[in-house]
Structure 1
Amino acid sequence: MLVLHRKLTCVAPLERLKLEYMVRGEKRNIFEVIKSIATSQGLRGFWKGNLLNILRTAPFKAVNFSAYDTYRKQLLKFSGNEETTNFERFIAGAAAGVTATIICLPLDTIRTKIVAPGGETLGGVIGAFQYMIQTEGIFSLYKGLVPSLISMAPSSAVFYGVYDMLKSSYLHSPEGMQRIQNLHKQGQELSAFDQLELGPVRTLLYGAIAGACAEAATYPFEVVRRQLQLQVQSTKLSSLATFVKIVEQGGVSALYAGLVPSLLQVLPSASISYFVYEFMKIVLKVE
C-alpha cells in the first residue's frame, strides 16, 4: 500500500494533466497547461484529487490482479492444459477488468466530478458523493458503466495478455530457461528481489510495454467514459451519441486528448504495478 501511495503521488501531476485534456477539453499545449495550473492553483493544484485516486486505485489494482490470477487458474483447470494459452490470458484479463470496474467505478466517478469545472465547490469526496446521490440518485455513481466495461475488458485483456506473452516468450528462450534452472538450484538462498523470474529490469520493462499497449488501444473509450460521467440527467446522451459529439466538436484527435501525459503516467505506473505484483507473490509465497 505504501509503495502504491508513493507511486501514485509521483505520477499524480501527469494524471491531472490527462484529465485537463479529457474532461475540460483543453486545447493548449502541455507546457501552457502546466503554467496555467501552477499560476491559478499553485503546486498543490497538480495533486488535486490525488487522495481519492489512491483510495480508488488501491482496491482496483488489488481486485484486478487477484481476479486475473483466479480466472486464469480456473481456465487452466477447465482446459486441462499444462500452460495458459494466449486466448485464455486475454479472456482472464478481460474478466478481471470487468470485475474490478463494477466494484470500483463509483470512486472514479466521484473523482471525475471533483476535478471537473465547478468540482471545487462540492466540498471534497463526501460532499461530491452527497451531491450526486441527492440530485441524481445512487445510479449516477455508475455513469459511463457501459463504455467503462467496453474499454476495460479489452484494456485488461491487452495489459495481462501482452505481459504474459512477453514473459512466456522469455522463459522459453535459452536465456530464460537457464535463468530458471539457476533459480531452482539456488532456491531459498536468494532474496525475494533476486527470485524474480524475469529479473528486476525485464519485469519493469515488460510491465511498461503492456501498460502502454493497453492504454493506446482503448484510450478513446476512456475519453467517452469521462464525458458521460460529467453529464447531468436533463442533457444525458448515450455512449454512441457522446462519441459522435466528441468527434464533431474536436475531430478524431479529440478521442486521444491527453494521451501523451497519460502514456507518460502509465509507463512507470504499469512497470511498478507488475514489479510489486511479482515481488509480493514471492514474499507471500503465492503460486
Structure 2
Amino acid sequence: MGWSFCSHGFKDFGLSRTCIAPLERMKLEYIVRGEQRNLLGLIQRIATTEGIRGFWKGNLVNILRTAPFKSINFYAYDTYRGQLLKLSGNEETTNFERFLAGAAAGVTASLLCLPLDTVRTVMVAPGGEALGGVVGAFRHMIQTEGFFSLYKGLVPSLVSMAPAGAVFYGVYDILKSTYLHTPEGKERLQHMKQEGEELNAFDKLELGPMRTLLYGAIAGACSEAATYPFEVVRRHLQMQSHAKKLSTVATCVKIIEHGGVPALYAGLIPSLLQVLPSAAISYFVYEFMKVVMKVESAQ
C-alpha cells in the first residue's frame, strides 16, 4: 500500500479526531482528574470554567498522535496479514492470522507513537496548563525525568494494544468475511466484478458505505470495551512523577483501593461514544482509500 496511504489518511483521521475531541476530553477528565460529576455536570463545568475552546484542549497533540497512529496501524496490519498469508499458503486469511496481525500492528503503532500520547496526558493533568503547550511539555519531561519518561505506561500500553488490535481488526474482518460469504455478499461481489470501472468509488466498497461504517463501529466498540482497564492504568502511570513511580500492578491495585473495580472503567461511556464514530470513520477512510489507490486486499 505504501506510505502514500498514510499521508492521505492523516488528514481524514485528523478531521475525525477534531469532531470527537470533546468526548475524548471528557474521558480524560474522568481518568486523569478523577471527575465524579455525571456527563451533563462535567459539560457544564468545562463550559463555565474554560469556555467552548476547553472541549478541544489538547486536540492538536491528539491529532499529531492519533493520525500517524491510525495510519501506521492500518498499514502495519495489511503488511503483517499479507506476510502471514504468504507464509501459510492459504487462499484466505484465517481468524487466528487476523488476530495475530492485528495484535502485531497495535504493538508497532504503540511503540512509535506513545511519546505523544504521554505528552497529551501530562498536558490535560492538573498543572499541565503551565507547561507551555506541546513543545513545553516535551521539554519539561525530558529535562526533569529524562527521555524515557516519554514511555511511561509502555507495559500496559503494549499489553492492551495487542488484544485491542487483535479484537479491532479481527472482529471487523470476521464480520466482513461472513457477509461476503452470504448469498447477498456473493451477489454484490459478482455485480462489482461485472460492472468494473463503471462503478464509482463508493459502489466499489465491498461492504458498501453503510455496512463499512457499521462494522467499523462495532469493531471499535468491542476493542475499547475489552481493553479499557489497561487504558485507565496507562493514563495513571503517565501522570506519576519519577520519585513516586509505582509498578503497573501496584498502580492497578491503588486505583481499585481508591475507587473499587468500577474505577478501572472511569470514563468508559464518553470513550465508547467517541470510539463509535471514530472507528467507523477510520475504517471507511481505510477501505475508501484502498479503492481510490487501487490496493489489492489480502483476504
- TM category, shorter: over 0.9
Shift >4 Å, 4+ stretches: none
Task: Measure, in 1, the Cα distance between the counterparts of 2:94 and 2:11.
Answer: 34
SS of aligned partner of 2:20:
helix
Q: CA deviation at 1:3?
A: 2.4
- Work out whether residues 14 and 66 of structure 2, in 8 Å CA contact, stay in contact via their aligned partners in 1: no
Match of 1:103 in 2: 112
- Work out whether residues 13 and 70 of structure 2, in 8 Å CA contact, stay in contact via their aligned partners in 1: no
Match of 1:152 in 2: 161
Task: Report % sequence identity.
Answer: 74
Deviations 1:159-217 (A, max 9, x none): 00000000000000000000000000000101111100000000000000000000000
Match of 2:246 in 1: 237
Task: Measure, in 2, the Cα distance between the counterparts of 1:149 and 1:18.
Answer: 20
TM-score normalised according to structure 1 size: 0.99
Count of equivalent residues: 287
SS of aligned partner of 1:246:
helix
Q: Alignment partner for residue 93 of structure 1, among 95, 102, 109?
A: 102
Q: Alignment partner for residue 177 of structure 1, among 173, 186, 204?
A: 186
Match of 1:62 in 2: 71
Q: CA deviation at 1:5?
A: 2.4
The one-letter code matched in structure 2 to 1:209 is I
SS of aligned partner of 1:193:
coil
Q: Which runs of 5+ in 1 are unaligned?
A: none
Question: Does residue 36 of structure 2 align to residue 36 of structure 1?
Answer: no
RMSD: 0.6
Match of 1:166 in 2: 175
Deviations 1:73-109 (A, max 9, x none): 1111111111000000000000000000000000000
Task: Measure, in 2, the Cα distance between the counterparts of 1:115 and 1:200.
Answer: 35
TM-score normalised according to structure 2 size: 0.95
Match of 1:201 in 2: 210
SS of aligned partner of 2:47:
helix
Question: Does residue 123 of structure 2 align to residue 123 of structure 1?
Answer: no
Task: Measure, in 2, the Cα distance between the counterparts of 1:211 and 1:50.
Answer: 20
Match of 2:4 in 1: none
- Work out whether residues 122 and 137 of structure 2, in 8 Å CA contact, stay in contact via their aligned partners in 1: yes
Question: Does residue 283 of structure 2 align to residue 274 of structure 1?
Answer: yes
Q: Which runs of 5+ in 2 are unaligned?
A: 1-9
Question: Does residue 152 of structure 2 align to residue 143 of structure 1?
Answer: yes
Task: Measure, in 2, the Cα distance between the counterparts of 1:268 and 1:53.
Answer: 16
Q: Which has the higher contact order (CA 8 A, sep 6+)?
A: 2
SS of aligned partner of 2:294:
coil
The one-letter code matched in structure 1 to 2:176 is K
The one-letter code matched in structure 2 to 1:49 is G
